[in-house]
């Protein structure tokens, strides 16, 4: 009995290490840049009790990332940028941790740090240029900083995080509209025009891409979907990942599932994904290193009497 318990603890520790390394690039789950969130002169664009802190600090983000990446592939311009410039095949975790860094920094950092990180992303976008065939087969130039591409990526990420949190986590403070409205700040920071400010606007803008015939599915999309379905994760993590992938697919509206060439599993994968996320929460603990660092800043500012929220911009 004691031996079995010890072995179980070893497996749990190994699984937790793999997960932390996957999400952060470090076995302790705390990248060097997380420490910067304890610094700064204001609460940030959101702060404790905000919808953005609740959504981006929840476990459902793990499924949201899968759903967002699947949806992102459907815009041929976005897919061209990933295909031509991203090293996702050689360094998939590097791309993942880069995206996580921006998301977490804008969410939990002070306003100056959020602006600085967004500017870093914008500088990278400036280099990403090329040409792709649109849904009509006509050649079009692209830049990662194009308003249309920025808008698509913002929409699919906002939609994925909102849908996943709604399915698998606690109620959002202020509801879905508050989250979409808050996260429009992130859109402004990286140059997205006319970002949605309500859940209804989000759905309308997202579906407008499909209704206008902008999206398409081709071999590049199929290749990316195969990679997302079978990423090079540690063998011990794959059973949980397969469940979360199935949950992400099941959460998609049918029109997008069809475009991606995916089918919803007949098994109760929505429920099973919730169970997997509960187990991950048990492994990881309820606290987030980024949120913990941000709270150090917030408490310091409260002590100094300077805890103002930058949403009053």
Query: For 10-68, how does the pLDDT look when each residue is reduced to its tens digit (9 = 90+)?
Result: 544 555 444 545 554 555 445 677 788 889 999 999 999 999 999 999 999 989 999 99
> How many domains is the chain built from?
1
Within a domain: residue 283? no
User: What pLDDT shows up at residue 232?
Assistant: 83
Within a domain: residue 84? yes
**Residue 284 has which token pair?**
């990881």
User: What pLDDT shows up at residue 8?
Assistant: 40
Strand ranges (DSSP E) for 184-310?
A: none
Residue 313 clears pLDDT 50, i.e. is over it = no
Q: Round the average pLDDT of the chain to a whole number and report it.
A: 84
As a whole number, mean pLDDT of residues 232-248 equals 90
Within a domain: residue 94? yes
Within a domain: residue 106? yes
Phi, psi of 72 (to 5 degrees): -60, -35
As a whole number, mean pLDDT of residues 168-188 equals 96
Within a domain: residue 140? yes
Within a domain: residue 268? no
CA angle 175, 23, 199 (to 5 degrees): 20
Within a domain: residue 31? no
User: What pLDDT shows up at residue 256?
Assistant: 97
Decide if 140 contacts 156 (C-beta within 8 A).
Answer: no
Task: Give residue-wise pLDDT tens across range 288-309.
Answer: 778 888 999 999 998 887 655 5
Alpha carbon distance 126, 287 (integer Å): 36
What band does 120 get if pLDDT is binned at 50, 70 and 90?
confident
Domain that holds residue 184: 42-232
- Using DSSP, how many helices (H) and how many strands (E) does the chain show? 14, 2
* Pick from 176-180, 213-217, 280-284, 297-301: least confident: 280-284
Residue position matching structure tokens 């791309």 = 95
**Contacts of the segment 240-243: beta carbons below 8 A, 24+ positions apart:** 240/276, 240/279, 240/280, 243/269, 243/272, 243/273, 243/276
Residue 287 clears pLDDT 80, i.e. is over it = no
Verdict on whether the full-model pTM lies above 0.95: no
**Residue 164 has which token pair?**
């996943």
Within a domain: residue 36? no
**Percent of residues, the chain, with pLDDT higher than 90:** 54
Residue 2 clears pLDDT 70, i.e. is over it = no
């Amino acid at each position: 009995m004691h031996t079995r318990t010890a072995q179980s603890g070893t497996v749990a520790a190994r699984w937790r290490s793999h997960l932390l390394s996957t999400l952060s690039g470090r076995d302790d789950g705390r990248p060097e840049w997380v420490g910067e969130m304890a610094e700064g002169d204001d609460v940030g664009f959101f702060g404790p009790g905000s919808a953005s802190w609740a959504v981006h600090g929840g476990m459902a983000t793990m499924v949201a990332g899968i759903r967002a990446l699947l949806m992102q592939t459907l815009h041929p311009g976005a897919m061209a940028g990933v295909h031509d410039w991203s090293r996702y095949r050689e360094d998939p975790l590097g791309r993942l941790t880069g995206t996580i860094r921006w998301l977490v920094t804008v969410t939990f950092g002070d306003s100056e740090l959020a602006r600085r990180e967004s500017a870093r992303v914008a500088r990278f976008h400036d280099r990403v240029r090329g040409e792709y065939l649109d849904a009509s087969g006509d050649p079009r130039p692209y830049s990662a900083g194009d308003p249309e591409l920025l808008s698509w990526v913002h929409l699919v990420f906002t939609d994925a995080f909102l849908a996943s949190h709604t399915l698998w986590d606690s109620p959002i403070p202020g509801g879905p509209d508050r989250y979409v409205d808050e996260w429009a700040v992130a859109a402004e920071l990286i140059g997205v025009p006319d970002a949605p400010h309500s859940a209804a606007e989000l759905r309308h803008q997202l579906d407008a891409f499909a209704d206008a015939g902008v999206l398409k599915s081709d071999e590049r999309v199929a290749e990316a979907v195969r990679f997302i379905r079978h990423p090079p994760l540690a063998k011990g993590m794959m059973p949980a990942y397969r469940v979360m992938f199935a949950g992400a697919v099941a959460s998609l509206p049918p029109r997008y599932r069809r475009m991606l060439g995916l089918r919803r599993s007949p098994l109760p994968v929505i429920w099973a994904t919730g169970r997997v996320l509960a187990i991950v929460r048990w492994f990881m603990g309820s606290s987030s290193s980024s949120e913990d660092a941000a709270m150090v800043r917030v408490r310091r500012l409260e002590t100094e009497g300077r805890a103002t929220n930058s949403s009053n911009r």
